[in-house]
Amino acid sequence: MLADPSASNPNRDAAETAALAKGGRTSFFGYVLRLAARFPFLFIAGRLYGAEALGRFAYATMVVELVAMLATLGLKRGLAEDMARRPQDEAAALIDALLAALVASLAGAAVLVLLPELVFPATRLAPLDRWFALIIPFIALADVALAGLAFHHDVGAQVRARSIIEPWVLSIAALALAFTALKSDGMLIAYLLSMVAAFFAALSPALRRFGWPGGWRLDVGRIWRLVKTNVPLAGADIAEWGARRLDIFILGRFASAEIVGIYYVAQQIASLPQRLKSSFDPILGPVLTRNLAAGNLAKAAGHVRQISFWVAAVQLAAVLALGIPGQAAMGLFGPAFAAGVTVLAMLLTVELFAAQAAVAEGALIYVARNANLMWSVIGLAVQAGLSLLLVPMAGPLGGGVGAALALAIAALLQSVAKSRLLQARLGHAVSGWRPSLLLAGIPAFGVGLLVLRTPEPIQLSIGFFAILGSYGLIIWRFGFKGADRLLFARGLKKIEDEAAGLPLAPILPPDAR
């Protein structure tokens, strides 16, 4: 059993908090960029391609991204552990991980090439459809390369690849192809181009940083041990990812492609806050593993609380600013999409529930890997059961509400269960919820009700910023204290550099229960 040390190093503590803040600021910048790029694509897709084509696109990309997630074999988070164990051989660890992911992704792509109906069910196959799955290796290898860069706190590479290059290539290509003879496959081609571009944007800096390992030799046994070690992580990744896509899968079986397209737009808007949390992972992982290995359980719990609060504060702002004028926001993408306002509101609420579980999982994968996987599977099973019950009962358009409600219940269950599990393992509180969130949220909600009385263009311009401004002023004045403000502070170059240079300690054993 690990125990808290009697004393902590103030310089190290300040450097770690600064590292989290620096990663958070970089992530926030990437989040804003992704937001700026995602809306143009959804607008282009809704207005120029239509809800039915967007639904077909959503289902196809869901399938290939699922297989790509499987092909990473848990190495998006597990690679940091392997690199920490091989500090003199980091390049070899990266090559091993890339090779394992390449083999797995090629196998998955081969299955989908042979069975394209799994990617495009109940629709006539076009010539491109059969070969669409060949994008899987590009997705998987980019994720692994970015995980290697994240080990050295290089969050900027992830921002460039995933928040700038990928979404903007997707938007620009989709717009250009909409006016050509390739329009029928325009979104799929744009997706292929965006993922290939993101692959090169991820692999190039990884090769520059690590280079080719001198003396590296293929060792199947070593790679197989790496895969086996990360099986629980892979399971947790799939369960978490599946919870985000299971609703689309089940809805696609009971509703038309048009309804799937409307739900997809609502999901994409609602999932933008969640991307802020996931972009903290590259910084949170190394900091947590260092403190857990040293027995600093109180400090590890403090970092989890800090990240949870930052994420909850930003997500609540997004829920209010995007959810209250939701009908106007959905209507931007076409008149048919305005009907998805209820789904949007529910999915935004899901993100509030899911954030705490996702941050807690960042530590649970090191201290309770198997228990974390168990709760992930339970949550997925609950969501599947409720979805199968609620989606058919709700009818075609209401089916989206049923899918969102099932996801919300499952997310709340996992949030409570995983937070309590982590608190029990660390012996310290880990929840990031504070009364100041409610204190800031209630007045902003009141402002939002006033905004709803204005025309839709006003809601989406002045109203949007009025809600954000009222919330931001109150949360900054009464909610952000001390270290909280490091997320938006300047002048921290020195301690950030110290944080980047801190050595990584050995990580907890992979069989931690």
Residue 274 · residue 34 · CB < 8 Å = no
pLDDT, residue 508, reads: 41
Residue 198's H or E segment, with its range, is helix 186-210
Q: Which residues contact 21 (CB under 8 A, 6 or more apart)?
A: 483, 486, 487, 489, 492
DSSP state of 125: P
Low-confidence ranges of the chain (pLDDT < 70): 1-37, 122-123, 240, 243-244, 272-286, 394-398, 483-513
Residue 75 · residue 237 · CB < 8 Å = no
User: What is the pTM (predicted TM-score) of this model?
Assistant: 0.71
pLDDT, residue 109, reads: 95
Angle, helices 341-367 vs 281-294, to 10°: value is: 30
Q: Quote the number of domains for the chain.
A: 1
pLDDT, residue 173, reads: 95
Q: Please name the residue ranges forming H helices in 427-451.
A: 435-451
Residue 3 domain-assigned? no
pLDDT, residue 349, reads: 83
Q: Which domain, by its residues, includes 151?
A: 15-500
Q: Which residues contact 3 (CB under 8 A, 6 or more apart)?
A: 295, 297
Q: Work out the angle at residue 192's Cα, subtended by the Cα atoms of residues 189 and 193, and round it to the nearest 5 degrees.
A: 90
Residue 5 domain-assigned? no
Residue 9 domain-assigned? no
Residue 10 domain-assigned? no
Q: Which residue has the tokens 């509101």?
A: 345
Residue 90 · residue 158 · CB < 8 Å = no
Residue 239 · residue 376 · CB < 8 Å = yes
Residue 29 domain-assigned? yes
For residue 178, count other CB atoms closer than 10 A to its CB.
Answer: 17
Residue 513 domain-assigned? no
CA distance 120 to 60: 6
SS3 80: helix
Q: Burial code of 233-253, b = ≥16 C-beta within 10 A, e = fewer?
A: bbbbbbbbbbbbbbbbbbbbe
Q: Mind listing the pLDDT tens digit for each residue in 321-336?
A: 888 998 888 888 888 8
pLDDT, residue 302, reads: 83
Residue 2 domain-assigned? no
Residue 280 domain-assigned? yes
